[in-house]
Amino acid sequence: MSADGAERAARTPGLELADVAARSHVTTHVLDSVTGRPAAGVAVTLEQRVGTAWVLVETGETDADGRLTALGPAALPAGRYRISFDTGAWFAQAGRDTFYPEVTITFDLADVAEHYHVPLLLAPFAYSTYRGR
C-alpha cells in the first residue's frame, strides 16, 4: 500500500487500511447536491475504449455513503474510459423528476501510477464533476 493510502485511511473515520489497499484504480462518489446527502444505490458502469468500441470493465452500485470503491481492477492500462451513472432510475426510485436520465463522464487515464477518483455532484436539472483524489 502507498503512503498516500495509509494517510487517507488514518484521516478518514471508519476507513480501514484494507479498504484503501483493495480499492479499484477508478473510484467514484455521488452526492445529491439538493439534499446534501450521499446518493446511495446509483447504478454505475465503467467502460474502456478499445479501437472504435466501448468494452465493459465493471458495473456496480454506490453504497450508503454514495461511494463505489470496487469499480474494476486495482490496475488499469492507460487509455480512454467512461463512467455512466443511471441517474434516471435513481431519481425515479426517489419519486423525483430529472432532466438527465443518464450521466456519462469520459476521461483519459494517462498515468497508470495515479489513482483516478471521479465524483459526481447530482441535481435533477444539473450535474458537475471534477478530478478528485
Show binding-site residues for substrate.
Answer: 29, 67, 130
Q: Which three cell numbers stand for residue 68?
A: 463505489
Those residues whose C-beta lies under 8 Å from the C-beta of residue 66, and which sit 6 or more positions away, are 29, 30, 31, 32, 37, 38, 39, 40, 42
Residue 10 in 3-state DSSP?
A: helix
Binding site as annotated, residues: 29, 67, 130
Q: Which three cell numbers stand for residue 59?
A: 458495473
